C-alpha cells in the first residue's frame, strides 16, 4: 500500500483570521482556540503578530510555551524590530519558525513602500539573513506575489533562498488570481529559481472572487505542499482559504488530487462552531461543510433518493465531520416517504390511513410556515394518532426586561404525560437567560443546555425570529427550532422542542 503524502496545514485563524473586522480576540481566548486547533491536528499555528501589541506578544508567547506538539510561527514585517519581537515571543516553543513578509509587486513597491526593486531585493536578502541567525526555519512571503511579474518574483525568492529561507509563500494577497494563473506561477517559480528544490512552497489565498480554495488546490497541483488557511475562511475582507473546505476537497477527491492531511475531521464542526462563537462571526446558512443547510435536503425527489441511498445526493457523510444529525428539513417539497421516516426516528409507527391524514395537514402547514420543525410535526402526529408524543408544552411566559439589574421570567410548563402543570420563576442577565433558566427548573430529566442561535427572518409575515437550541442528553446532541414574532418566545419554544426531541427518543425511566 502506498501512503498518501500530507499537505502541511498552516492555520492563521488567530492572525489573518483575527484581522476580520470585529473578530478580535482576548489573549486568553487565543490560548483556548489554539488548544482546539492542536486537537484538530493542524501542523503550524500562527497565533498573532507579536510586534503589534503587548497583548498579541503575550498570546504568542503563552501559546509557544503551552503547545509543544505543533510548530509555532512568529509573524513579522521584513524589519529588524518585528523580527526581534517574533523571535522573543516564540523563544520557548519546542518547534518554531519566523515568518517574514515583504511586498514583491510593482504596485506595492511604488505606491506603498516607495522603494526601488533593487532596494526591495536587498531588504529581502538582509532580513532573511537576520532572521536566520535566530531560527533555523524561516518562511519568506513575497506579498502580492500573484500580481508580481514572474522574473521579479523569481529574483526576490532566489535572494531569500540564498540567505536560508526554508519555506517560500507566494500569496494572492488581494484575491485577484484565477486558478490557472496561480498554479502556473508556482510551476514557473519552482522551475526558475536556483536552489528552489530545497524549499517547501506555500499558498495563501484570499477569497475576494470566491476562488481561495480553488486557487489553493491549483497551487497544490503545481507543487505547493503547505496551505495557509483559517477556520470558517475568516480573515481580511472576504477572508482566506477555509480550512474545512480545503480539507474536505482533498479528502473527498483524494483519488484525483493525491494528497491528504493530518486533520481530525470529526472535530471540524466543533472547531467551526467555537471559532464562529468566539469571533462573533455567524456562518451563512449555505456555507460549505459547516453551514446549517450544508447537509439539508428539501426537494422531495432528493429526500426520496437520500432515504433509499445517501450517495444519491450526498458526497460527504456529515457524521464523519462531527455534525450532530443528518436532518432532512421538512418543508412543502417533502413527500410522504420523508415524513414517515422522520416519525419512525421517534420510535412511532404510523399506519397508511393516519399518514394520509397527517400528510394533508403537514402540506397546509408547510405552505404557511415554509419549514415544519420536529416539534410541530410531533404535535400533528399526536393529534392524528390520538397519542401524546411530547413530554412538555410551554404555557404562559412573562418576562420583565429593562435597564434594572436583573431580568425576571415566570413560566408555566405543561407535563403532557402526567396531565399536570408547573410554574417556575428565575432571573438572568438577559431575558433569554431568565426564560431558559426558568424552563430548566421544570424539565425533570438530565438535559444540558448547550447553545442558542437566533436569526431574524425577513421573509414571511408570521416569521420574525427563528431560534435554534442545542441540548445534550446521555451523550447525544439534539436540536430544537421554533419561529415566533417574539425572540424570547422563539428561544423558549426551541428549548422545549429540543428537550422533547431528546425525551421522545430517550423517554424518562
Ligand atoms: Mn492574508
Query: What CATH number corresponds to the domain at position 495?
Result: 3.30.160.270
C-beta separation of 328 from 296 below 8 A: yes
CA of 35 to the centre of ligand 1 (A): 22
CA of 491 to the centre of ligand 1 (A): 38
CA of 86 to the centre of ligand 1 (A): 18
CA of 205 to the centre of ligand 1 (A): 7
The answer to whether position 93 is within a domain reads: yes
Domain boundary among 250, 279, 308: 279
Q: What is the DSSP string of 181-206?
A: HHHHHHHHHHHHSTTGGGSEEEEEBB
* Residues 98-139: tens digit of each pLDDT: 999 999 999 999 999 999 999 999 999 999 999 999 999 999
CA of 209 to the centre of ligand 1 (A): 14
The DSSP element (H or E) to which 352 belongs, if any, is helix 352-369
Residues 201, 108 share a domain? yes
Q: Can you tell me the mean pLDDT for 28-49? A: 97
Please state, in angstroms and rounded to a whole number, the distance separating the CA atoms of residues 384 and 405. Answer: 46
C-beta separation of 165 from 138 below 8 A: yes
CA of 173 to the centre of ligand 1 (A): 6
Give the chain's mean pLDDT.
92
CA of 16 to the centre of ligand 1 (A): 5
Residues 359, 495 share a domain? no
CA of 194 to the centre of ligand 1 (A): 27
Residues 334, 373 share a domain? yes
CA of 320 to the centre of ligand 1 (A): 30
Domain boundary among 330, 358, 385: 385
The answer to whether position 76 is within a domain reads: yes
CA of 231 to the centre of ligand 1 (A): 13
Residues 130, 247 share a domain? yes
Residues 317, 462 share a domain? no
CA of 85 to the centre of ligand 1 (A): 20
Predicted local distance difference test score (pLDDT) of residue 123: 98
Predicted local distance difference test score (pLDDT) of residue 311: 86
Predicted local distance difference test score (pLDDT) of residue 509: 39
Domain boundary among 363, 385, 407: 385
Q: Can you tell me the mean pLDDT for 247-256? A: 97
Query: Above 60 in pLDDT, residue 462?
Result: no
The answer to whether position 293 is within a domain reads: no
The answer to whether position 253 is within a domain reads: yes
How many CB atoms lie under 10 A from the CB of residue 140?
Answer: 29
CA of 235 to the centre of ligand 1 (A): 7
Query: Above 60 in pLDDT, residue 90?
Result: yes
CA of 390 to the centre of ligand 1 (A): 50
Query: Above 80 in pLDDT, residue 388?
Result: yes
Query: Above 60 in pLDDT, residue 460?
Result: no
How many folded domains does the chain comprise? 3
CA of 58 to the centre of ligand 1 (A): 22
Residues 250, 169 share a domain? yes
Q: Which residues contact 290 (CB under 8 A, 6 or more apart)?
A: 232, 244, 268, 269, 272, 273, 283, 321, 323
Predicted local distance difference test score (pLDDT) of residue 239: 97
The answer to whether position 3 is within a domain reads: no
CA of 240 to the centre of ligand 1 (A): 7
Q: What whole-number percentage of the chain has pLDDT above 90?
A: 68
Q: Can you tell me the mean pLDDT for 34-46? A: 98
Q: Which residues contact 255 (CB under 8 A, 6 or more apart)?
A: none
* Beta strands at 407-415 and 392-400: parallel, antiparallel or unpaired: antiparallel
Query: Above 80 in pLDDT, residue 486?
Result: yes
Residue 317: domain span: 300-385
* Residues 332-360: tens digit of each pLDDT: 888 898 889 888 878 888 999 999 999 99
Predicted local distance difference test score (pLDDT) of residue 343: 87
Predicted local distance difference test score (pLDDT) of residue 154: 98
Residues 65, 26 share a domain? yes
Q: For the packed helices 352-369 and 374-385, what is the interaxial angle rounded to 10 degrees? A: 140
- The dihedral built from the CA positions of residue 477, 482, 487 and 489, taken in this order, carries a sign that is negative
Query: Above 90 in pLDDT, residue 177?
Result: yes
CA of 366 to the centre of ligand 1 (A): 44
Predicted local distance difference test score (pLDDT) of residue 444: 87
Predicted local distance difference test score (pLDDT) of residue 459: 56
CA of 204 to the centre of ligand 1 (A): 7
**Residue 443 confidence class, pLDDT cut points 50, 70, 90:** very high
Query: Above 70 in pLDDT, residue 325?
Result: no
Residues 125, 65 share a domain? yes
Query: Above 60 in pLDDT, residue 506?
Result: no
Query: Above 90 in pLDDT, residue 330?
Result: no
Residues 228, 124 share a domain? yes
Q: Can you tell me the mean pLDDT for 291-298? A: 84
**Residue 1 confidence class, pLDDT cut points 50, 70, 90:** low
Query: Above 60 in pLDDT, residue 441?
Result: yes
* Residues 198-234: tens digit of each pLDDT: 899 999 999 999 999 999 999 999 999 999 999 999 9
Range of weakest confidence among 285-299, 320-334, 430-444: 320-334
The answer to whether position 450 is within a domain reads: yes
Residues 400, 381 share a domain? no
Residues 145, 86 share a domain? yes
Predicted local distance difference test score (pLDDT) of residue 508: 44
Cell of 40: 484538530
The answer to whether position 122 is within a domain reads: yes
Residues 260, 129 share a domain? yes
The answer to whether position 295 is within a domain reads: no
Return the CATH number at 258. 3.20.20.70
Residue count of the chain: 509
Position with higher pLDDT, 329 vs 242:
242
Please state, in angstroms and rounded to a whole number, the distance separating the CA atoms of residues 78 and 355. Answer: 70
Amino acid at each position: 500500500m502506498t501512503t498518501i503524502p500530507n499537505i502541511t496545514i498552516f492555520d492563521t485563524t488567530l492572525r489573518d483570521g483575527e484581522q476580520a473586522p470585529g473578530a478580535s480576540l482576548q489573549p486568553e481566548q487565543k490560548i483556548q482556540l489554539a488548544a482546539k486547533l492542536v486537537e484538530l491536528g493542524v501542523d503550524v499555528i500562527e497565533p498573532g503578530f507579536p510586534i503589534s501589541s503587548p497583548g498579541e506578544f503575550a498570546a504568542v508567547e503563552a501559546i509557544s510555551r503551552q503547545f509543544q506538539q505543533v510548530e509555532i510561527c512568529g509573524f513579522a514585517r521584513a524589519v529588524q524590530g518585528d523580527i526581534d519581537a517574533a523571535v522573543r515571543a516564540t523563544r520557548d516553543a519546542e518547534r518554531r519558525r519566523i515568518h517574514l513578509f515583504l511586498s514583491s509587486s510593482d504596485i506595492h513597491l511604488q505606491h506603498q513602500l516607495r522603494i526601488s526593486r533593487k532596494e526591495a531585493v536587498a531588504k529581502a536578502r538582509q532580513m532573511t539573513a537576520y532572521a536566520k541567525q535566530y531560527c533555523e526555519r524561516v518562511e519568506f512571503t513575497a506579498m502580492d506575489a500573484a500580481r508580481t511579474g514572474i522574473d521579479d518574483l523569481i529574483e526576490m525568492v532566489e535572494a531569500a533562498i540564498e540567505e536560508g529561507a526554508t519555506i517560500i509563500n507566494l500569496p494572492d494577497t488581494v484575491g485577484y488570481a484565477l486558478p490557472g494563473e496561480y498554479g502556473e506561477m508556482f510551476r514557473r517559480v519552482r522551475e526558475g529559481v536556483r536552489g528552489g528544490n530545497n524549499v517547501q512552497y506555500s499558498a495563501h489565498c484570499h477569497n475576494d472572487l470566491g476562488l481561495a480554495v480553488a486557487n489553493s488546490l491549483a497551487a497544490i497541483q503545481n507543487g505547493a505542499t503547505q496551505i495557509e488557511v483559517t477556520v470558517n475562511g475568516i480573515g481580511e475582507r472576504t477572508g482566506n482559504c477555509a480550512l474545512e473546505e480545503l480539507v474536505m476537497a482533498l479528502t473527498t477527491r483524494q483519488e484525483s488530487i493525491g494528497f491528504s492531511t493530518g486533520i481530525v475531521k470529526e472535530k471540524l464542526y466543533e472547531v467551526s462552531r467555537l471559532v464562529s462563537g468566539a469571533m462573533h462571526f455567524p456562518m451563512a446558512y449555505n456555507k460549505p461543510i459547516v453551514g446549517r443547510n450544508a447537509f439539508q435536503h428539501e426537494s422531495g425527489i432528493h429526500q426520496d433518493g437520500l432515504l433509499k441511498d445517501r450517495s444519491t445526493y450526498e458526497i460527504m457523510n456529515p457524521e464523519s465531520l462531527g455534525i450532530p444529525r443528518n436532518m432532512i428539513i421538512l418543508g412543502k417539497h417533502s413527500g410522504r416517504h420523508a415524513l414517515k421516516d422522520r416519525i419512525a426516528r421517534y420510535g412511532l409507527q404510523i399506519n397508511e390511513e393516519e399518514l394520509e391524514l397527517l400528510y394533508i395537514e403537514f402540506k397546509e402547514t408547510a405552505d404557511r410556515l415554509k419549514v415544519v420543525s420536529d416539534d410541530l410535526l410531533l404535535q400533528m402526529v399526536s393529534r392524528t394518532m390520538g397519542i401524546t408524543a411530547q413530554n412538555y408544552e410551554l404555557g404562559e411566559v412573562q418576562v420583565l426586561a429593562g435597564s434594572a439589574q436583573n431580568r425576571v421570567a415566570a413560566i408555566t410548563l405543561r407535563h403532557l404525560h402526567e396531565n399536570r402543570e408547573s410554574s417556575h420563576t428565575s432571573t438572568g442577565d438577559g431575558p433569554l437567560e431568565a426564560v431558559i433558566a426558568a424552563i430548566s427548573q421544570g424539565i425533570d430529566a438530565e438535559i444540558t443546555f448547550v447553545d442558542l442561535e437566533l436569526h431574524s427572518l425577513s421573509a414571511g409575515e408570521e416569521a420574525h425570529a427563528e431560534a435554534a437550541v442545542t441540548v445534550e442528553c446521555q451523550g447525544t446532541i439534539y436540536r430544537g427550532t421554533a419561529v415566533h414574532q417574539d425572540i424570547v418566545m422563539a428561544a423558549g419554544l426551541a428549548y422545549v422542542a429540543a428537550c422533547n426531541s431528546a425525551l421522545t427518543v430517550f423517554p424518562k425511566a
